[in-house]
Amino acid sequence: MTKEKSRKQLLSTNDEFVTFSARMLILAGEHKKQLQIAGYCILVIIILFTAGNIYLKNRNSKAQDAYNTAYYAISGNISPEKKQEIYSKAREDFGKVLSGYKMSKAASLTIPQMAHIDFLEKKYDDAIKKYQDYLDKRPAEPYYSYALIALSTCYEEKGDYDTAVNILEKAVAKSEGYSKEQAMLSLAGIYRVKKNFAKSNEILKDFIEKFPSSSFIEVAKASISS
């Protein structure tokens, strides 16, 4: 008798023994109108999200076109008499991408490109500031290691080889693949300039061991000092 009563008590305790799915169905039945409203809200959110994606895709496309125009302008062979005009126009175009398409993917690369123009014009301090700004704001960018290499080149051109070495050592530690190859070869080159041939040879031998299939392998072998 006690067992039978206990079983009835157990069966009557719906909140404890009704499955979660069943409770959700009951809740849905009790709040059908509210759920319909919620459904409309979700639909509106989806529509807005889709529209936002289309808008951003269009903005990215326009930004990329503007970026490419400026990029290719400074990438080709430029006659000395045209340099100043082309650099000035490219800087202006990159600036438009940065100010007009801030949320675009292309905008994230305009700062190092503007820094590169400064470098080409031998404005090394200005280039350093821009590269450092990019590195500080975008530590997770895929081009981070390339920006480090470019920054080191600015210091190298200024004759500050110790700072250039420190930056390149960081680039070697943080990069992989092609960017690591570039960082190691640049580092070996600076040590040669500093006449530390033993350290330069050590890096080059490490390069040859790590990247036997590199397109720069013969350059590395030829650069080892006897």
With contact defined as beta carbons under 8 Å apart, do 164 and 152 qualify? yes
- Whether the pTM exceeds 0.85: the reply is no
Please compute the mean of the pLDDT values over residues 12-40 and round it to a whole number: 49
Q: What is the percentage of the chain residues whose pLDDT exceeds 70?
A: 71
Per-residue pLDDT band at 203 (split at 50, 70, 90): very high
The pLDDT value given to residue 103: 67
The pLDDT assigned to 11 comes to 42
- pLDDT value of position 67: 77
Residue type, 90: A
pLDDT one-digit tens code per residue, 170-192: 999 988 888 899 999 999 999 99
Tokens of 66: 């503007």
| Placement of tokens 């157990």 in the chain | 10
Per-residue pLDDT tens digits for 140-157:
666 888 899 999 999 999
Q: Once rounded to an integer, what is the mean pLDDT over residues 100-129?
A: 86
pLDDT digits (tens, 9 = 90+) for 37-68: 444 444 333 333 333 343 344 456 777 777 78
| pLDDT score, position 14 | 44
So what's the pLDDT on residue 73? Answer: 79
Closest to 86 (Cα-Cα) out of 98, 101, 71: 71
111 membership: H or E segment, kind and range: helix 110-120
Q: Please answer whether residues 109 and 70 qualify as being in contact, where contact means their C-beta atoms are separated by less than 8 angstroms.
A: no
What's the CA gap between 67 and 138, in Å, rounded?
18
Which of the 8 DSSP states describes residue 18? S
Domains, in order of start, for the chain: 142-226 (1.25.40.10)
What average pLDDT does range 111-115 have in this prediction? 89
Q: Is the pLDDT of residue 205 over 70?
A: yes
Q: 22-27 — which CB contacts under 8 Å span 24+ positions?
A: none
For 220, half-sphere exposure in the C-beta direction (CA atoms, 13 angstrom radius) is: 25
